Amino acid sequence: MEREEEKKKEGSSYRYWVREATSDAAPPPLPQKLSNNDVALNAAPASLGSLWNRAGTWEEKSLTKWATDRLKELLGSVGSLQFSSGKAEIKDVNRCVGDAFLVTVRNKKRVGYTYELSLKVEGEWSFEENMKKVKGSLEIPEFSFGELDDLEVDVKLSEDKDLSQQLKQRIRLDMKQFLEPIRLKLGQFEQELKDR
């Protein structure tokens, strides 16, 4: 009981800031109008991304439309390859499915993509003094940013009963030579994506 009475006499353990101005307190600040020079000096440094994201915390922008169109354009320009027993060229991009994005994180720009491709290929091969026209496709099941060294291509030939298994095997090996020109075009695409 005695302790409780002592605490009441000492007063509350909480402290409050002075609510009323005293004679030794500093005067309250007065508002000042800024000039154009003051505003220019205090402007925030330029940041990546949108104006609303000046801190550069997180912002994601889809580049899928641009990337899909650019991939089709680049891969369509690969052209033809000459082989020991024939030649072939990429006629069209049958399928180009995926997405590409630009992410701004902590005021640093990062890009990425993931795509699947199917390229229409036509060519001619000589076999036993006859020229055989061959149609097929190059399938690239999945590729993404920074993984072009691991790129793989699957060759699918249209069903042609006139072709022997030996000739089909030779054609598949020849068509796999498109891998290097495709890899170069995709490397160019990655660089353009980084520069955006």
CB-CB contact of 120 with 87 (8 Å): no
Q: What is the pLDDT of residue 1?
A: 56
Q: What are phi and psi of 193, to 5 degrees?
A: -65, -40
Q: What is the pLDDT of residue 151?
A: 93
Cα separation values, 110 from 51, 107, 114, Å: 18, 10, 14
CB-CB contact of 99 with 65 (8 Å): no
Q: What is the pLDDT of residue 116?
A: 96
- Kindly report the pTM of this predicted structure: 0.71
Q: What is the pLDDT of residue 35?
A: 84
For the chain, what is the total number of helices (H) and then of strands (E)? 5, 6
CB-CB contact of 76 with 189 (8 Å): no
Q: What is the pLDDT of residue 132?
A: 84
Give CA–CA dist 104/48, Å, rounded.
7
Cα angle 179, 96, 75 (rounded to 5 degrees) comes to: 45
Q: E strands along 63-106, which residues?
A: 80-82, 86-105
CB-CB contact of 88 with 174 (8 Å): yes
Per-residue pLDDT of the chain (196 residues), as tens digits, is: 566 655 555 556 666 665 666 777 778 888 988 888 876 666 655 666 677 777 778 889 999 999 999 999 999 999 889 988 889 999 999 999 999 999 988 888 899 999 999 999 999 988 777 888 889 999 999 999 999 999 999 999 987 777 788 888 888 899 999 999 999 999 999 999 999 8
Q: What is the pLDDT of residue 70?
A: 96
Q: E strands along 40-184, which residues?
A: 58-62, 80-82, 86-105, 108-127, 130-144, 154-157
Q: What is the pLDDT of residue 41?
A: 66
